[in-house]
Structure 1
Amino acid sequence: MEDIKTYIESGILELYVLGDLPENEMREVEAMAAQYPDVKSELSAIEAAVEGYARSHAIDPSEKLKIKVLQALDFDEDDSFEPVVNAKPIREVPKIVPLKDNNFYRYSFAASLLLLLISWIALFVLYSRLQNSKEQIANLLTSNQQFSNRVNYLDKQLKESSTSLSILKNPDFKMIRLQGTKNAPSASMIVAFNPRKSEVLIDFAALKMPATDQTHQYQLWALVDGKPVDLGVFDSATDSLGMKRMKAIERAQAFAVTLEPRGGSASPTMEQMIAMGAI
């Protein structure tokens, strides 16, 4: 039922009522309404709301407009039908009585035309209202989606910050600050190392490294007995404030970062050493 509730709150039912969905999604909504009573009930409620909105905002034509239509359809009072007589000789010619009073037909035609005009005006107003409603609903759905994305992003950042805080408070972790080399004097970062559990993490909240291009990445190395050991790659650009877990290692005397081709290298490029820090 949670999935059905999410489906109903997604905004797709409103777009279905407004006819703003592709054909395959229209069929999908109809199938969901046929299968789930909650979807069908919500769909009916939305349709009733849109119809009520249109009715409450309908505009009747003014009395001045009605008078103009009747004046445009005015006939001459002396209008009458001319009798048509068959030219062939017949024994008796039926007597044709001219119709002197055309008021009934005249006003009936005028009334019909007026009703047609009113219908077209009402349809135009209804269409305009529906278009405005569609735009308002679309804007509302966009705003809701942006708000939802923002909430999810902040929730993610909060969880990452809580995790980082728990690691920083854990006495089993050693915080090693790596300072920039001559290749990047302003660079710095913090590596959290837990030798008891062989855990190595990078603190992105404290990461200050030069931006990389699309063909290069930073690679973290551990120096174990004078030999470099690969701990994985990472990028300088990130929207995270948490910790990035790297490859496990039991012991190390120092950590270093080099700039390598994207994906990493089997051995460090020493002339591209960016930062280094001893334990």
Structure 2
Amino acid sequence: MDIKAYIDSGILELYVAGALSEQESKEVYDLMLQHPEILQEVLEIESAVMKLTAAAAQPSKTNVFGRIKAQLKLGNEEVKVVSIEPSKYNWLTYTGWAAALVVGLGLFWTLNQNKALESTITTVEIEKSYLEQQIEEAKSNLAATRNLLNVLRDKDIISVPLAGQGNFASTYAKVYWDKKTNSIYLDAQGLPEAPAGKVYQVWSLTLDPLTPTSLGTIDEFNTDDNKIFAITNANESQAFGITLEPEGGSESPTMEQLYTLGVVASGP
């Protein structure tokens, strides 16, 4: 395309004046986007028209217009003045800004939607992972519960009630002793939460002579919901007791903090 010939054709002046058809105006607009030279020429034409319009609006120019009439020998005849339409470029500029704004808002909305979608996907994945974990825990808990029920229902299990002692008379616990597996199940639901810095310690006792053997501390007592604990016990226990000790446990039971005590029943 010969840009110079196109500019010299006068179509750009008609474009600025708004004298072109909608289709022709669109063609000029498309060429402006493709060729900076055409865009620059339109801007210059528009600038010139604006200057002429501003100059014509000045009161001091009225006499000049009269002199021009006189020179043309028009007398007092009515002169038809062709009104120049507002610049199409202004309209296109505003349209361009509006289009840019719409595109920008569209991009912003799309980015937000993408972020929301990513967030939703992440949340779903987290919830799925959590649900899977809960299912596994439920299965594990169910298996543990069935195992515990089987233990408690075993006719060879020895049940040892532990009664509250001294200042802790309202407390209670129960030991289920499975000699075949050298383990006990301690139901400590009747004990209060351990104070800060303290833990419950379980003891296996022989009575003659009185000899305590530690079965360990229950460090997770406060956080365990069911308060049932499996503890290894390979001792020939004659009694079981629970004391409250400093964190880490003690080598021997603190008798002032003896919460519960129970003697294993003798044979039939």
TM-score > 0.5, shorter chain as reference = yes
Mapped to 2, the partners of 1:192 and 1:148 lie a distance apart of: 33
SS in 1 for 2:233: coil
SS in 2 for 1:190: strand
Aligned residues: 187
Gaps of 5+ in 2: 1-44, 53-83
Mapped to 1, the partners of 2:106 and 2:192 lie a distance apart of: 64
Per-residue Cα deviation, 1:53-87 (whole angstroms, up to 9, x for no partner) = xxxxxxxxxxxxxxxxxxxxxx98992799xxxxx
Q: 1:115 aligns with which of 69, 80, 99?
A: 99
Mapped to 2, the partners of 1:173 and 1:219 lie a distance apart of: 22
The amino acid that maps onto 1:232 is: G
SS in 2 for 1:244: strand
The answer on 1:212 being equivalent to 2:194 is yes
SS in 1 for 2:190: coil
% identical equivalent positions? 24
Mapped to 1, the partners of 2:180 and 2:93 lie a distance apart of: 97
Q: Is the 8 A contact 1:161 1:242 kept in 2?
A: no
Q: Is the 8 A contact 1:160 1:243 kept in 2?
A: no
Q: Is the 8 A contact 1:161 1:241 kept in 2?
A: no
Structure 1 length-normalised TM: 0.55
Partner of 2:239: 254
Mapped to 2, the partners of 1:270 and 1:255 lie a distance apart of: 13
Q: Is the 8 A contact 1:157 1:241 kept in 2?
A: no
Mapped to 2, the partners of 1:125 and 1:134 lie a distance apart of: 14
1:137 CA drift (Å): 3.5
Structure 2 length-normalised TM: 0.57
Mapped to 2, the partners of 1:169 and 1:123 lie a distance apart of: 67
For 1:37-56, list aligned pairs within 5 A.
Answer: none
For 1:102-181, list aligned pairs within 5 A.
Answer: 109=93, 112-181=96-165
Mapped to 2, the partners of 1:166 and 1:127 lie a distance apart of: 58
Q: Is the 8 A contact 2:164 2:170 kept in 1?
A: yes
Partner of 2:65: none
Mapped to 2, the partners of 1:163 and 1:242 lie a distance apart of: 16
1:165 CA drift (Å): 0.7
1:121 CA drift (Å): 2.6
What RMSD over aligned residues (CA atoms) do the two structures have, in Å? 3.5
1:106 CA drift (Å): 5.9
Q: 1:192 aligns with which of 164, 172, 176?
A: 176
Question: Which one has a bigger Cα radius of gyration?
Answer: 2
The structure 1 segments of at least 4 consecutive aligned residues displaced by more than 6 Å after TM superposition are 75-78, 100-104
Q: Is the 8 A contact 2:162 2:241 kept in 1?
A: yes
